[in-house]
Amino acid sequence: MSRGTTLARLIGSVGVLILPMLASAQGGTGCWLRDAAAPTASTVYVLCEQGTMNITADGGATWSAVDTGAKVKLRAMAALDAGHAIVVGDGGLILATDDGGKTWRERNDAKNKHFTPQHLLALSAVGNQLWTSGFDGALWHSVDGGRNWEVQKTGTHMALEDIYFLDADHGWAVGWSGTLLRTLDGGKKWEAINSKALAAAWSLSSVYFHDLKNGWAAGFSGQLLRSRDGGATWEAQDSSSKSWLKDIEFDSSNRGWITSDEQFLVSEDGGEKWNPVKIQKNLFLRKLLHVGDSLWAVGQLGVLKQGPGLTWTPVTSLVPRAASQVVTPQK
């Protein structure tokens, strides 16, 4: 294994090694929030890495917690609609619900085995189509809502930390050692983009495209890249940060937002310049998602909801619980 690959693996795993310890040191409940999805303005799923799914059907006024039964770390999720959602995790685990999160069942191949042994890290959904990516360049595609999966060749052995599809054809994936991929045909062919000219050696954690031309990729040590031609070429941007940048999204007022451990970065000019927005408490922010007309930000230790202007307020109604604290009804 090369020195660069070893370094990439170290950086890529730092969140697994460090953030849970920090959460525990701050009184964590054994439920570190990892991902979320909002298929409607009132329905939100918030995933706990240790196996609990927190669900609201009233826009966050009240929550229920369900034990998915997972015995490994869960990494990412996507919701097709209010009743159907998919979760992926370590060892190729794929879980699905068809009843709004009340029950979760594994999705396996014809031999009742996981489709891949690789840890799965990300999910992207367009309609009933899904793509999931993970360690060793693994990337799988489903055309039937996650019931069946077929491998897509990426040409890389680097872990793919994030995957984003703007429509059924145009997709992008990013990962360790500055890995950048794009597809123009739904993943039948993935093209590797040379990022060495940008010195993009750090791991990339997130990729987002605002339209078919304008996109951003972000990652470790404040690294921020921008493309103006659909991902064919990229340029380095000054993020004004040395933090680990986690996720990218634009709100309904066309402001761009990027999460990091202890703050947001915001752009009010279409992504040309980014400035820090501090928060009162370090939540180790990761995921940004639209919930109705608002943005929510999910961190390991809590959830924030966008307020007027550049303000954010805690979603205090959500009290994450460990799977061991969830009471499973008797059948």
CATH number of the domain residue 139 falls in? 2.130.10.10
By C-alpha distance, which of 262, 324, 223 is closest to 26? 262
Q: Structurally, how many domains does the chain consist of? A: 1
Mean pLDDT of 223-230: 95
pLDDT digits (tens, 9 = 90+) for 139-162: 999 999 999 999 999 999 999 999
Alpha carbon distance 243, 219 (integer Å): 9
Alpha carbon distance 246, 232 (integer Å): 22
Tokens 């040409």 found at = 155
Alpha carbon distance 24, 71 (integer Å): 19
Residue 28 has pLDDT above 50, yes or no: no
Asked if residue 323 lies in contact with residue 292, where contact means CB atoms within 8 angstroms, the answer is no
Average pLDDT over the chain, rounded to an integer: 90
When computed from its CA atoms, the radius of gyration of the chain, rounded to whole angstroms, is 18
145, part of any domain: yes
- Of 13-22, 147-156, 166-175, 236-245, which range is least confident? 13-22
The DSSP result for 255-296, as a single string, is: -EEEE-SSEEEEESSSSS--EEEE-SS---EEEEEEETTEEE
By C-alpha distance, which of 164, 151, 158 is closest to 137? 158
Asked if residue 170 lies in contact with residue 185, where contact means CB atoms within 8 angstroms, the answer is no
What distances in angstroms separate CA 177 from CA 10, 174, 201, 228, 326, one per listed residue?
Answer: 11, 9, 5, 22, 39
What distances in angstroms separate CA 23 from CA 31, 46, 274, 302, 317, one per listed residue?
Answer: 9, 17, 28, 11, 19
Residue 197 has pLDDT above 80, yes or no: no
pLDDT digits (tens, 9 = 90+) for 293-308: 999 999 999 999 999 9
Residue 101 has pLDDT above 60, yes or no: yes
Alpha carbon distance 227, 236 (integer Å): 9
Residue 203 has pLDDT above 80, yes or no: yes
307, part of any domain: yes
201, part of any domain: yes
pLDDT digits (tens, 9 = 90+) for 262-276: 999 999 999 999 999
For residue 179, give both structure tokens.
């890995």
102, part of any domain: yes
Mean pLDDT of 106-120: 97
Range of the domain at 219: 3-322
Residue 103 has pLDDT above 60, yes or no: yes
245, part of any domain: yes
pLDDT tier for residue 328 given thresholds of 50, 70 and 90:
low
Q: Which amino acid is at 8?
A: A
The angle at the Cα of 210, spanning 77 to 236, to the nearest 5 degrees, equals 100
Mean pLDDT of 41-45: 97
Please indicate whether residue 218 or residue 9 has the higher confidence score (pLDDT): 218
327, part of any domain: no
Alpha carbon distance 228, 215 (integer Å): 7
Backbone region of residue 112 per phi and psi (left: phi > 0; alpha: psi in -120 to 50; beta: other values)? left
Mean pLDDT of 46-61: 97
Percent of the chain with pLDDT over 90: 82
pLDDT at 11: 43
Alpha carbon distance 226, 271 (integer Å): 9
